[in-house]
Amino acid sequence: MTRLLFSLSLVCTTAALVLSPLAAEEKSEKSEPTRILFVTESKGFVHGSVKRDPKASGELAPAEVAMIQLGQQSGLFDCDCTQDAASDFTKENLKNYDIVAFYTTGELPITDEDRDYFVNEWLKTKGHGWIGFHSAADTYRTDNPDHQWYWDICGGTFIGHPWNANSHCTMAVHDPEHPAAKPFGTEFKVQDEIYMYNHWNPENVRVLMSLDYAGSPTPNTVNAAFGTHVPVAWVRSWGDGKIYFNNLGHREDTWTNPAFLDSIKGAVKWIRGEVEGSSEPNPEVSQKWEAKSRKDIREHGFKVENLQ
């Protein structure tokens, strides 16, 4: 198995990444930390946040360091990182974990048997959950109906990012009391790469936050083939299990953002049932923000194509 387990001191040394201090935070009162398998394998574009240096033995990527350190300092979870889904995303190994997190791209080497176990048994178990970061939505980005299982779990698949890594964007938070969204307040500004999506079904998810065009200029063309609303984070239930996706995380410095890190902690507590948060779908939010986004496109002079 290619899981990587490092002490906090080694993580900080090898990755040369400075995270915001969490030392004063109270440790979780739960006796057994949640166990997270963080899959960061790339079968397409390799993002800097999950890129390891092959010349440095034991080097971890910034997102991996952030997750390991966050778990250790909060006491909420233990995190194992893998870039070998074929060996580690298996029925046998999944039994060792409570949450699986993806920061991945492309078509992963997951067998049908392991996929079926994950979708139909493991993820439906109370206390289990899946967390997707950023390019998890650039995973199984195909028109192959065999990949429907992943589109349903992730919530959408990448079609482009009119807002690139240097874009300054404004986000509107629709459910500021949800533990995975509360750290962001009701509105916030962020510099990060923001995706648009295909295979998006608002009736299946609860949108937690969306991009506000009015505060998110870009010189790039917006592809409106699948709508203009840009959801950024959402949740859903899967049997008794729970799902959280957050588009943020392209930039390495996002993984040092206190609000982003706190949202991960909130999501972990929510998945294991420690805090309340609704996963009831809110398609009316997507409908409202589709109308607002179209209005903002006209009023703020966005370049757009395929607008129906």
Q: Which are the contacts of 296, defined by CB distance < 8 A and separation ≥ 6? A: 212, 213, 214, 302
**Which residue, among 183, 163, 186, has the nearest Cα to 174 in the 3D structure?**
186
pLDDT band at 20 (very low <50, low <70, confident <90, very high): very low
CA–CA distance, 63 with 48 (Å, rounded to integer):
9
Rg (CA), the chain: 18
DSSP H stretches of helix in the chain: 8-15, 62-74, 85-88, 91-94, 112-117, 148-154, 258-271, 283-299
Residue 1 domain flag:
no
How many domains would you assign to the chain? 1
Least confident window among 14-18, 173-177, 233-237, 289-293: 14-18
**The pair of three-digit structure tokens given for residue 211, joined into one six-digit string:** 């991009």
Query: What's residue 6's pLDDT?
Result: 40
Q: What's the rounded mean pLDDT across residues 147-163?
A: 97
Arithmetic mean of pLDDT over the chain: 91
Q: What's the rounded mean pLDDT across residues 46-74?
A: 91
Cα angle value 149/156/68 (rounded, 5°): 85
Q: What's the rounded mean pLDDT across residues 70-76?
A: 97
CATH of the domain at 174: 3.40.50.880
CA–CA distance, 172 with 217 (Å, rounded to integer):
15
**Which residue, among 52, 40, 47, has the nearest Cα to 250 in the 3D structure?**
47
Max Cα separation, the chain?
A: 54
Residue 137 domain flag:
yes
Sign of CA dihedral 61, 63, 68, 73: positive
**The pair of three-digit structure tokens given for residue 63, joined into one six-digit string:** 């997102």
Half-sphere exposure of 119 (CA within 13 A, CB side): 15
Say how many C-beta atoms besides its own lie within 10 A of residue 16's C-beta: 10
Residue 78 domain flag:
yes
Q: What is the pTM of this model?
A: 0.91
**The pair of three-digit structure tokens given for residue 89, joined into one six-digit string:** 């995303």
Q: What does the DSSP 8-state code read for residue 166?
A: T
Residue 197 domain flag:
yes
Residue 3 domain flag:
no
**The pair of three-digit structure tokens given for residue 27, joined into one six-digit string:** 């440790």
> Is pLDDT above 90 for 56?
no
The backbone torsions φ and ψ at residue 64, rounded to the nearest 5 degrees and listed phi first, read -65, -45
Query: What's residue 53's pLDDT?
Result: 84
Q: What's the rounded mean pLDDT across residues 275-295?
A: 98
Helix (H, G, I), strand (E, B) or coil at 251: coil
Residue 158 domain flag:
yes
Model pLDDT for residues 175-208, shown as the tens digit of each residue: 999 999 999 999 999 999 999 999 999 999 999 9
> Is pLDDT above 90 for 57?
no
Q: By residue range, what is the domain housing residue 282?
A: 8-305
Query: What's residue 27's pLDDT?
Result: 47
Model pLDDT for residues 242-270, shown as the tens digit of each residue: 999 999 999 999 999 999 999 999 999 99
Residue 121 domain flag:
yes
Cα angle value 42/47/53 (rounded, 5°): 85
Query: What's residue 24's pLDDT?
Result: 37
Residue 99 domain flag:
yes
